[in-house]
Chain A
Amino acid sequence: MISVRDLQKEYRVHKRPPGLRAAFSSLWRRSYETVKAVDGISFEIQPGERVGFLGPNGAGKTTTLKVLAGLLHPTAGEVQVNGHTPSRREDAYLKQIMLVMGQKQQLIWDLPPSETFELNRAIYDLPAVQYRETLAELTRLLELEPLVSRPTRQLSLGERMKCELAAALIHRPRVLFLDEPTIGLDVSMQVILRNFIRDYNARFGATLILTSHYMDDVAALTPRVIVIDKGRLSYDGGLDALSQRVRPEKRVVFRLQRPVEASAFEPLGKVISVDAEAAVLHVPLATVTEVVAKALASLPIRDLTVENPPLEEVMSELFGRSLARGAA
């Protein structure tokens, strides 16, 4: 289980205005600012849960992830992961976890990935049978066969990421921290990695914590989300509930038999777009049935769909509100 109580992480940052004069004056007088990257966050995560950390850039989600992985020492607060204090970085703890960072790699650049796998076998003290089994399985599931014997530097980004994931999972970590794991990957590779990660969670009951700016990652992998905003926890709960809280409305798409004036839709809800083929409206949840019935009765509707607003829009609105609050 992961337990975080009143976690705080501060950085001391050197502040200097631009220009040569400021550069020289900073030689003998420097001003520092204390930045609160994480400001009193508390939550608990049960074994096997899949949780997404969401928030705008600089919100503190990656810092929280790095504290959980033992890379950063908290300024204050208490963090426990499976009974360990991460910052102590005990062997028993490090053997249970792995942090996969989309922008950093553990693969040895000039050697084939198979060498990194072998290195991890030794470092994690894996029994030969378990190592062979896990490697064979990862090779099959991630289709690594043609990749493992080529130097890492000659692999494409997607191929590297698949090998990176294999290297990270070779010791079957019980807690997996994923920081932007699909960044820069094409859509099909993103889908492959998401499916693989979800299967890993299901098979081994591993706890999974994800940060990603790709909402498709979040929607596919993490039923529970924790929203971090300016270092503080602003939401902890289900993804659907978050959507409804931020956007308590449904997106209704009417496909039209023939063009209709936009004004005809205005009484039904908030008109997002209208063209010759379709009209898109945002309609409060409570009135969806009534609006749909009214539209079907009075307008040339060929087909319609009722859906949740896209997660990107929900997040954009949520983070936009945060920015507006900050500016006020």
Chain B
Amino acid sequence: MVQAQHLRKTYGPTRVLDDVSLTLSAGESVTLLGPNGTGKTTLLRILATLQRPTSGSLSIAGVDALKAPEAVRGAVDMVGHGSWVYEDLTAIENLRFWTTLGGHDAGRARLKGALESVELDTVADQRARTFSAGMKRRLALARVLLGRARLLLLDEPFTGLDRAGRKWLAEFLLAFKAQGGAVIVATHSFDAGAGVADRVAILAGGRIVLDRPAASLGLDDLRRLYDELAAGPVIAS
């Protein structure tokens, strides 16, 4: 599904990513752990074809994403720091915009259905300006539901979510995987992150220093490894 090999990203003399390789199959989810500023967002953006790596190769759903990013974009969706919500539009108008722009228009009924799935149907006709950060993120997930993405990238999706919210997100991701989608979650909060993953990877110093099935690691082991590895030398500036 996703094959990233030897990705490197430099900004002038600063090397943010150095020889990152990651493989992911359909129906699988990986949690990318790492402290802030270690390049998780950059890696996600490269996987989303929002940015080009300085070197390396990337293929998504069998297509070379660097040569033909347009071909890949329909298959990838991202919920990042910005949730792509127009504040002056209502929830349902936002959905209508993004689905039509993405080429998969949906009638009002389907849009409402998506809003129901994320428990936003009560505010369907309210302007997004009034929404909390969590609600905006849920709106973004409704957008994902209506799309045809097969790879979902999430950047710090747990911030601002309470326990119930995290549980809800975990269920959402499970359902997404069950339909054959692949998920990459980047987060520095490994309690929540470890809970939703089939595999755990740690990004430190611009490299992936750990990549193992989640089941093979106890939470304490993971915590210990994380502290050790994440505190290691950082290759930058």
User: Are A and B interaction partners?
Assistant: no
Chain B interface residues toward A at CB < 8 A: none
